[in-house]
Amino acid sequence: MASNLVIVESPAKAKTIKQYLGKSYNVIASMGHVRDLPKSQMGVDIEKHFEPKYITIRGKGDLIAKLKKEAKTAKKVYLATDPDREGEAISWHLAQLLEIDEKSPCRIAFNEITKSAVQTAVKDPRPINLDLVDAQQARRVLDRVVGYKISPLLWKKVKKGLSAGRVQSVTTRLIVDREREIEAFVPEEFWNLDAILSKQSKKEEFTASFYGKNGKKQKLATKENVERIIADISGKDFIVKDVTVGEKKRYPAPPFTTSTLQQEASRKLNFTAARTMMAAQQLYEGVAVEGHGTVGLITYMRTDSMRISQDALKDARDYIGTKYGSTFLPQSARVYKSKSNAQDAHEAIRPTYVALTPQEIKSSLTGDMYKLYKLIWERFIACQMQNAVYDTVNADITAGDYLFKASGSKLKFKGFMALYVEGSDDEAEVKDKMLPELSIGDKLDLKKLAHEQHFTQPPPRYTEATLVKALEEKGIGRPSTYAPTITTITARGYVARDKKQLKPTELGSVVTDIMTQYFTDIVGVEFTANMEKQLDSIEDGALPWQDLMESFYQPFAKTLKVAEDEIGKIKIEDEVSDVPCDKCGRMMVYKMGRFGKFLACPGFPECRNAKPIIKESGALCPLCGGKILEKKSKRGKLYYGCEHNPSCSFMSWDEPETKEKCPKCGGLLLKRKSRKGTTLVCWKEDCGFEKEPKKK
């Protein structure tokens, strides 16, 4: 008897779904896209209304032959690719190859890979949504035309290997513009003035900060301002003028969208956007969990919706009531409103089974999967918990005509904070400190006046978290594009990472200047955001995708011709290193290759010497005495290894300590980082020494 055929993208997803559908279903993975535009040419016929020329992806021939064979004998073929534009397009390409009528009920989609969701979807197949397909085609063709028209111009005018892209160019511009803001920033001097006070005959001190004169706020711009005020209040009594006692509520953060998940994983886990999405994809597609079989652990991870299903809300509330008690449970479920331009086809990112707690399934997950699952699970449960409540006190204190203000707060009820607290891009932490009991008319003892000079700070460089936030706020790209865009601009050498910060390279600045001068629209934030709205209109069936291309291409072609005629040859000088070439003696320069920066001789082609950049840790190998070097794994993760590798096997993910030796055995100490801070541990496991590092 013929089986039903279900086609998905990945083997992991196929394995999970097969488990839910049973023997009468054959589940095969297409391994992503099966057709695409060719790499060797633009593949878009501009004269024929931007008709794309799709070809079978190289290496997919045997797989497609297998799919055709299975489809021919199958009772029914279901296309079960991801529930978004990209997934709909993959299903459409499969339908074209397998000669399936796209208007027939052949498409199934689910927001979560659970038994009930998969079985429900199979019972209710639908035709392929051609509006979704057209939106994906429009993006693909638009980006191909931009890339294949501008990139050769950059190769000719600047250097080979450069690329321009619709979203990557405007993203690079944001980073370049921010760097120029920082360079142009002129710091302004300002001062603060604090009174360290106590209640009379009491030891407990608290701080009141200068506010102004006669109730009006006053800025302290110079030291002279501060000294004049200090002279004026000399000998004056500090008296409590007003006390306001209140209560402040702190609300839980909403459940994750793609953007907020990437931001929080960057802040709390130090994950890049790409690393976050890789772990999320694995959690969504299914993991073999001990005692439960293969389970899809989270809902679809590309979403900008904050909608939560009623079943999931009930599960969360049941868990909170059982685990924490009724005081931690609001009277009704919290409902979060998505942004006006959000695609509400999916839910927020949440665990599929609340009962599968992070700790319970930890042994079944990789390190990255566990950390991300814990983040998603805790955020989801916390979003349905009671508010945290603080007791607050605010006091106005006068000294003559001058006003000082003091405030304090103390956590009264933890609420959701018992489980989860959202991270912040601002490093300053709010300290939980209450004021002593104060009454109007109280005279206070002045212990001292403290004043300090400050200067205004330039805007900070973007981190991945703040860049993703900016892209979302400005409407640049969609949830699926944030991670690949950041990966592309760093791989191209337009942007470099400096710890968590993103900094433009000279190359990135030069290319941005060309793009800004000649292709203003392409790197324009408003233009790019408006293009996303038009792509959404195509998805809604309100705009034919070729009409979008026509309106874009005519002015673009004229701009391209002007740029071709006007841009002269631009030479970018390579950054010179302090490493001499060991073949010819010239000082080597930094170059950007497929795998990042490397050192090359500037005498090319006469001298072709090149070598990797070596960064010493400052510590010596405990096995052979060689230098311990900073290295990067194939995935780009930093580790430490001996210079004599592979003959010496020393390797550590933890940074070596260079100033101290193990007091127990005299061996090498390593800096092991955790959420609690950095602990020094001996590299020898049998030694077992560890201690908290000395405070600076």
**Which residues are the active-site residues?**
300
Bridge partners (DSSP) of residue 112 are: 299
| CB count in 10 Å sphere of residue 20 | 21
Compute the distance between CA of residue 432 and CA of residue 415 in angstroms, rounded to an integer. Answer: 16
Three-state SS for 629? Answer: strand
CB contact burial 337-352 (16+ within 10 A = b; e otherwise) = ebeeebbebbbbbbbb
420 φψ region: left (φ > 0), alpha (ψ -120 to 50), beta (else): beta
Cis peptide before 484 (omega within 30 of 0): no
Regarding beta strands 4-8 and 25-29, do their DSSP bridges make them parallel or antiparallel, or are they unpaired?
parallel
Compute the distance between CA of residue 165 and CA of residue 485 in angstroms, rounded to an integer. Answer: 9
The helix or strand, by DSSP H or E, that contains position 677, with its residue range, turns out to be: strand 677-682
Identify the CA nearest to 404 among candidates 414, 394, 412.
394
Residue 679, classified by CB atoms within 10 Å of its CB into exposed (0-12), middle (13-18) or buried (19+), is middle
Compute the distance between CA of residue 514 and CA of residue 162 in angstroms, rounded to an integer. Answer: 12
| CB count in 10 Å sphere of residue 674 | 7
The pair of three-digit structure tokens given for residue 571, joined into one six-digit string:
């030479």
Compute the distance between CA of residue 226 and CA of residue 500 in angstroms, rounded to an integer. Answer: 37
Angle at alpha carbon of residue 141, lines to 137 and 144, rounded to 5°: 140
Compute the distance between CA of residue 669 and CA of residue 663 in angstroms, rounded to an integer. Answer: 10
Report the largest interatomic distance among the alpha carbons of the chain, rounded to a whole angstrom: 100
The pair of three-digit structure tokens given for residue 464, joined into one six-digit string:
């991945």
Q: Are 53 and 37 in contact (CB under 8 A)?
A: yes
CB contact burial 419-452 (16+ within 10 A = b; e otherwise) = bbbbeeeeeeeeeeeebbebeeebebebeebebe
Q: Are 135 and 536 in contact (CB under 8 A)?
A: yes
Bridge partners (DSSP) of residue 496 are: 503
DSSP-assigned states of every residue in 153-202: HHHHHT-TT----HHHHHHHHHHHHHHHHHHH----EEEEEEEEEEETT-
Identify the CA nearest to 355 among candidates 306, 305, 302, 292.
292
Cis peptide before 254 (omega within 30 of 0): no
Q: To the nearest 10°, the Cα dihedral for 470, 474, 479, 482? A: -50
The pair of three-digit structure tokens given for residue 123, joined into one six-digit string:
């019972």
